[in-house]
Structures are given as C-alpha cells and as structure tokens.
Amino acid sequence: MHPIILAIESSCDETSASVIRNGKVLNNIIASQAVHQKYGGVVPELASRAHQQNIVMVVKEAMEKSGVMKTDLDAVGFTRGPGLIGSLLVGVSFAKGLALGLGIPLVEVNHMQAHVLAHFIEEPTPAFPFLCLTVSGGHTQIVMVKDHLEMEVIGQTQDDAVGEAFDKAAKIMEMPYPGGPLIDRYARQGNPHAFPFPGTSMPGLDFSFSGIKTAFLYFIRDEKKKNPAFVSEKLYDICASLQHTLVSMLLSKLEQASNLTGIRQIAIAGGVSANSELRQSLQSLAQKKSWNIFIPAFEYCTDNAAMIAMAAHYKFLKKDFSTLDVTPLARMPV
C-alpha cells in the first residue's frame, strides 16, 4: 500500500497544507497571519476569517507543487484539535467537503501527536520508546512514545504553557508579537545569570509557569519605578536571565523523566523547540547523560501540515478513519 494523502492544518494562526506519498512528505505549504501583530496576540475571530481566505490557495499550491491530481488522493488528513474552535472548523469543513466530493476517507489527527511525529519526516528518526518534550504556546508536555500512535503523557503543565510565558514576558516588555523569538534573539547577547527569577517546582514530572510570569511582571514594574529606562538599558540581560530560567525548568523535568524511565532516546517538538538555548542546552545535557537526541528542522517545529500528513499516514495504514459527522475539539486527549 502506497497511500497519497493531502493534509490540512488550521489549529491556530497558520494555514498549512501538505501532500505525503508512501510516508514521504512532498511539500509543506504555510500561510502565516500578520493581522494579529497589532493586537499583541492571536485574535480567534480574525484567525478563522484568515483561514477562510487562505485555505483554497494553500491547498491548491500544495497539490500543484506535488504533481498529484485530486483523483490520485487516497485520503484527506486534518487537524481535529486541540486548537481554536473557529480556526479548526475551517480546516475540518474543507477536509470533509473534499473527502466527500472525492469519495475518499477522512483521517483526523491530534495536533500534539503530530508534533511528536514530526520526527519521522526526515532522517534520523528516534527508536521506540523515546521521550518527547513537546513545548509550544499552548502546551508543555513530556510524552513517552511507545509507537507511532501509542503515546502517554507522563508530565504536563498545570497552568500556562512555556511558550505563553515567553510571549507574555515579551508583551510586558512591550515587544511586538510574537515576542518569544525576539527574547531568544536578544538573550544571545546577555548574561543569563544577571537576574535570578524563581522557577516553580511541581511534584512529579509536571510543570507550572504562572508563577514566573507573575514574578516577572512585578520585577519589571518595580525596576521601572526606580529607572524608567530599565528595560531598554538591560534588555539583553533580562531576556537571557528569563530564558535561562525557563529552559532550566524544562530540562530539569526532562532529565528527571529520563532517570525515572531509563529512556535515553530524547526528542523535543513544538514551536518552542526552535529556541536556540533550549537546543544548545539539550545538546550539552545529552553529552553529560549519554542521551541520543533528536531535534526537528525549524520548519517542522511550528504548526505545519507536514506533521499532520505524517500522523495521517500512520493512521491510514491502520485504517483508522473518521466519519463525516466529526467535529473539531478545543481539547483532545493524547
């Protein structure tokens, strides 16, 4: 069986389409939404409208660049959740209509599982079982991956995601959205030990990032009372210190998870896995702990349809299809 699948991703503010043939991704077309920048964050209503504007052209480009005809498709894969309901609805509705029109199966995909399966788009790929630290603007999880479609969340945030903490801190410093990549850029020129921020310690393998967000808010407020130019004068050191604290919180739990499970195959996934300090610190820790680590290419870290296509491929092989009455879900279990 050599399935050809069109996959659609529309969980947040990226409209993406990808074609996969026999487990090989042929392309990964992404349309971003600049409309949210002036609001300092994603506006759900504007996101869903932008998806409606983009989806036809994005799918058309993916099909044309793949050299695949619609009649060659064996299935349509799509993100069912988790994500913004309005955004998901656009992708789900489009996938339903196309599958119904072509008379081919629908394959629903869990967005978070797809982030993990991004590791199978390109070589080298991790061996099972492996641990995956999945970090994004909406989620922070440690996942034990036993097979392509068998995964167990063994640790997760109990409040905010680490990506949200990055973006909130950037907003407090009046940086443009999205601020996380800017903090990463400025941190490279700063002293990571200039300002001590309190990391929250949670029992087991769980995370909490609400505390450091609040502490950072009060820290900036108090320092600006003493010196209104504090942020601009100390920007690099502030960013470096905050980023170092957040990355340390992540890797501390990941190391604990490896010690508890005995698993030394370690991967990272999700938008925050593009963070340069996280990548460098993981590589350093891997040398110390004799881990075999896997870090996806940048284009497969953020939301994209290639990872949806890969997940749909494995579900198709198991004939795990959806019905036409499938609806989007804001939250989905792994």
DSSP characters for 60-109?
A: HHHHHHHT--GGG--EEEEEEESS-HHHHHHHHHHHHHHHHHHT--EEEE
**Model confidence at 218: pLDDT above 90:** yes
pLDDT at 45: 82
**Model confidence at 334: pLDDT above 70:** no
Residue with token string 């909490």: 208
**Model confidence at 257: pLDDT above 60:** yes
**Model confidence at 85: pLDDT above 70:** yes
Torsion angles phi and psi, residue 9, rounded to 5: -120, 125
**Model confidence at 42: pLDDT above 80:** no
**325 in a structural domain:** no
Average pLDDT taken over every residue of the chain: 94
What confidence category does residue 117 fall into, taking pLDDT thresholds of 50, 70 and 90? very high
Could you check whether the bond before residue 196 is cis, i.e. omega within 30 degrees of 0? no
One domain for residues 79 and 108: yes
* Closest CA relative to residue 170, chosen from 224, 129, 231: 231
The Cα–Cα gap between 232 and 16 comes to: 37
**Model confidence at 34: pLDDT above 70:** no
pLDDT, tens digit, 9 for 90 and up, residues 147-190 = 999 999 999 999 999 999 999 999 999 998 888 999 999 999 99
pLDDT at 102: 98
Please count the other Cβ atoms lying within 10 Å of the Cβ belonging to residue 293: 18
The CA distances from residue 252 to 29, 207, 216, in Å, are 35, 10, 20
One domain for residues 243 and 176: yes
**330 in a structural domain:** no
**333 in a structural domain:** no
pTM of the model: 0.94
Q: For the ranges 31-40, 218-227, 253-262, which has the lowest average pLDDT?
A: 31-40
**Model confidence at 70: pLDDT above 80:** yes
Rg (CA), the chain: 20
**Model confidence at 239: pLDDT above 80:** yes
The Cα–Cα gap between 252 and 133 comes to: 11
Residue with token string 């994209």: 304
One domain for residues 275 and 194: yes
* Closest CA relative to residue 163, chosen from 278, 334, 333: 278
**Model confidence at 265: pLDDT above 60:** yes
One domain for residues 271 and 132: yes
pLDDT at 142: 98
pLDDT, tens digit, 9 for 90 and up, residues 287-307 = 999 999 999 999 999 999 999
The Cα–Cα gap between 271 and 266 comes to: 17
Could you tell me the two tokens for 266? 């370690």
CATH number at residue 208: 3.30.420.40
* Closest CA relative to residue 295, chosen from 326, 272, 317, 316: 272
One domain for residues 238 and 201: yes
pLDDT at 35: 61
One domain for residues 238 and 285: yes
One domain for residues 133 and 246: yes
The Cα–Cα gap between 8 and 306 comes to: 9
Angle of CA points 306, 291, 285, to nearest 5° = 100
**14 in a structural domain:** yes
**212 in a structural domain:** yes
For the chain, the domain total comes to 2
The Cα–Cα gap between 265 and 321 comes to: 30
By residue range, what is the domain housing residue 135?
126-295
